[in-house]
Chain A
Amino acid sequence: MSTYLLIKIIIIVSVFLISLVVAMYSTYAERKVAAFMQDRLGPNRAGPFGILQPMADGVKMFMKEEIIPNVSNKFLFILGPSLAMMTACMTSAVIPWGKGLTIGGNFYPIQATDVNIGILYIFGVVSIGVYGIMIGGWASNNKYSLLGALRASSQMISYEIAMGLSIIALIMMTGTLSVREIAEQQAGGHWNVFYQPFGFLIFIICAFAETNRAPFDLPECETELVGGYHTEYSSMKLGFYLFAEYINMFISSAVISTLYFGGYNMPFIGRFVTDPNWLSMIGTMFLFGKIFFFIFLFMWIRWTLPRFRYDQLMNLGWKILLPLAIANIFVTGMVMWWMGKLS
């Protein structure tokens, strides 16, 4: 039992650390990708190729003066970024990072916990993330912050619906809510994206909106709202908001690759490697490769597309994605009925 606990703790801590480090280096990668796409070099002074830039940024964030506005609600003002950070870190608990390791005859899955309602858990935690932004924006007692927070929350709520509906079609196919089982079902190259390309498209668009990334980054639209919901924030509290966004990006990339791109399953690798521990490690590596690709995709899109107007955003969410998601559920149901898969 104690080894079980120890291994769980090791997995939890390493997942936590890895998501922090990946988020940290996402900020660096974002700046590099942005620079490269604009024919620049990007940060290259701190350390070789600028790889110490995230540390320098972190130190800067900590050293900055901490300003809490007089008119703000202090408790909520501090609660906002903490909540954003906490929810961002919580989602990683149900994501299966690898098949599992066999140590001393016991099998330990590389996952913090395999909840049988994993997808519902992810959705629940993600929707708590709205509170972080909403509370922070409201507690600042600033009209720009409030407008930004309102935009953020209405955007996230509207896109959550389309996202949930696009997932329902997937759940109808897989018949399970456990993320690990969904990943297991895709073994051997049967990736869900081939069976649900439409659902995937809706899901990834909604994921962009959920993480408040361009082209849906209206909550922090500088031209209209100064800084959006974090206008009044400074120092590491601002850092937490920005950092939470990058963790969210990492987690959504992980969710996308697990739900639609086969998770830790690597097709054809079974022919070359037979040792299950090695297989599982390679699978984890493969999963991270996919995650990094999707993080790059997030950045790629951000530095390609301009921002939506707010009414366009709402139109897209309610009038296009929502009906499409429902139609996708319907078509999926029809196909399953036709193939006789409904019991």
Chain B
Amino acid sequence: MQSLTNRSKQVVKQELTFAEKIYLPAILNGMKITLRHFFKKKATISYPEVKRDFAPVYRGQHVLKRDENGAERCTACGLCALSCPAEAITMVAAERNKGEEKLYREEKYASTYEINMLRCIFCGLCEEACPKEAIFLTDRIVATSLNRSEMIYGKDKLVEGVNERIDISDRQTSEVIEFKRIRIFSITNCNCWN
């Protein structure tokens, strides 16, 4: 039979030679191997002191972005909630009043925006669906809790601070922006949604 990997070895059943029968050379060989490992660099990372870097594509706790003037980008269109396979996102939309232009970017905004972190599977589809570049997944870890209600993150935890911006440049690369632009263009033009 043709071998698939070229790594298969022909098994030969032979009487053991004397050196193999007395085991000692094999034992010494094994001891040599373990001794080599004894002086090798260890694979362990001592966690609290040393932390591993996240992969650039790591998807952790969400952030609701503000624009450069500090106004919330989210317009409560609901596409993220619609795209969410785990149905973790809920929101209530509200109309912007006069004088709130500094707070909200467009006339409509989310008065409440909640993500249930127990339901969320961190797939990133909300981020992909968002037409306003408002929601992103970051490399922050969602802290555990002993309490289910604490795991429903509201706007207080999700929206970034005006002066404490969350860096999302790893997620929002030029390729991603380009991809989103083309896709929105193709969706609006293809008429496949009727």
Query: Which of A's residues lie within 8 Å of B, judged by CB?
Result: 33, 36-41, 44, 300-301, 303-305
Contacts and interface: CB of A to CB of B under 8 A. Distances in A.
Q: How large is the interface on B (under 10, 10 to 19, 20 to 34, 35 or more residues)?
A: 10 to 19
B27 interface: yes
7 contacts: A33-B38, A36-B37, A36-B38, A39-B41, A300-B31, A300-B34, A304-B34
The dominant DSSP class at the B interface is helix
A44, A303, A304 — most chain B CB neighbours (10 Å): A304
Contact of B30 (A39, A44, A304): A304
A339 B89 CA distance: 94
Given A37-B37, A37-B38, A38-B37, A304 B27 contact: yes
10 closest cross-chain pairs (CB), A and B: A41-B44, A304-B34, A304-B30, A37-B34, A39-B43, A36-B38, A37-B37, A304-B31, A41-B42, A40-B44
Interface of B: 27, 30-31, 33-35, 37-38, 40-44, 46
A44 B46 contact: yes
A39 B34 contact: no
Contacts of A303: 34
Contact of A305 (B30, B35, B38, B43): B30
Nearest to A303: B34
Contacts of B31: 300-301, 304
A39 B43 CA distance: 6
B42 A40 contact: yes
Contact of A41 (B33, B34, B37, B46): B46
Contacts of B42: 36, 39-41
Nearest to A306: B30
Given A38-B37, A40-B43, A304-B33, 19 more contacts: A36-B42, A37-B34, A37-B35, A37-B37, A39-B37, A39-B40, A39-B41, A39-B43, A39-B44, A40-B42, A41-B44, A41-B46, A44-B46, A300-B31, A301-B27, A304-B27, A304-B31, A304-B34, A305-B30
